Amino acid sequence: MSHCARVEGHCGRCEGELPFAFTMAFQPIVDIREARVTTFEALVRGPQGESAWSVLSQVTGDLLYRFDQACRVRAIELASRLGMRQNLSINFLPNAVYEPEACIQATLEVCRRVGWPTERLVFEFTETERVTDRRHLHRIIESYRSMGFTTALDDFGNGYANLDLLTDLKPDRLKVDRELVMGCDRDPRRQALIQAVKGLGDDLGLLLIGEGVETREEALWLARLGITRQQGYYFARPAVESLGGDLGPLLRELRDESEGVRQRRAAPAARG
């Protein structure tokens, strides 16, 4: 891995080989209103498609920086090689970013090398429990925003993700966690919560994404509320080193149905 030009002298935190192999899977984020895939989220996997945990459990503290950098590089290289035309969403570990403007250099370098436009990169982040981390996270988000990247607050509605993060960190996008989405078509409590989050998102100018959509009913309920950006097994599971199958027929059908256009059609398209 190349040296980081923005750091005086020698940083070295992200240099060196990793003692284990890994690869990336890609899961689509769709827009039902537009009936298209807008983004692919890159998710870490073992070299033979093993779980994320099988890889993450090997990331010790001293490997954190280089692992985070290697994930970004691998995701961008693969997205380019697979001919991805959509946005690429990358999860980052706030604790793996030492100095935002310096640590982004390897990312920018691989973008230049493979010809990936930086405006098609989205960075997803989650909150951690410590206030000092919050300040650090704030600095990273501000820095990324100034560099023109899109940011998304991940897992909202689960764990540490608090309401004040929205105004404090000002992300561009908000990913509504599976915990809220699960069974939303038939649970009044979840519906009330999601409606409140939607109102908040609208007021703050955030684009909402429903995560963990697993059924057609959840997809349609969210779409009718106006949360037309969605991700989950209902559309596609993460595909290792692949962009998966064509979701066009399914998405057009959902668009028509959510907009009230009832058309007699055959069974839903096969999932990707």
Binding stretches for Ca ion (CB under 5 A): 91, 124, 154
* Dihedral angle over CA of 192, 154, 148, 38, nearest 10: -80
Q: Which is nearer to Ca ion, 154 or 218 (CB)?
A: 154
Looking at the Cβ atoms of 14 and 153, the one nearer to Ca ion is: 153
How far is it, in rounded angstroms, from Cα 213 to Cα 226?
Answer: 15
Q: Which is nearer to Ca ion, 211 or 257 (CB)?
A: 211
Least distance between Ca ion and beta carbon 42 (Å): 9
Distance between CA atoms of 75 and 77, rounded to whole angstroms? 6
What are the tokens at 219? 């997809």
What is the nearest approach in angstroms of Ca ion to the Cβ of residue 91? 5
CB of 26 to Ca ion, least distance (A): 12
27 bridge partner residues: 41
Of 93, 90, 96, nearest to 77 by C-alpha is 90
Residues in the chain: 272
Q: Closest distance between Ca ion and the C-beta of residue 27, in Å?
A: 9
- Write down the least CB distance from residue 122 to Ca ion, Å: 10
Nearer to Ca ion, 35 or 79 (CB): 79
Q: Which long-range contacts (CB under 8 A, 24 or more apart) does 201-210 make?
A: 201/174, 204/166, 204/167, 204/170, 206/166, 206/171, 206/172, 206/173, 206/174, 207/172, 207/173, 207/174, 208/173, 208/174, 208/175, 208/176, 209/29, 209/152, 209/173, 209/174, 209/175, 209/176, 210/176, 210/181
Nearest CB to Ca ion, comparing residues 89 and 228: 89
Q: Looking at beta carbons only, is 41 or 253 nearer to Ca ion?
A: 41
Q: Where are the beta strands (DSSP E) in the chain?
A: 23-31, 36-45, 87-91, 121-125, 150-156, 173-176, 207-210, 229-231, 239-240
Tell the smallest beta-carbon distance from residue 271 to Ca ion (Å): 20
Q: Smallest gap, in angstroms, from Cβ of residue 156 to Ca ion? A: 11
Which residue lies nearer to Ca ion by CB, 52 or 269?
A: 52
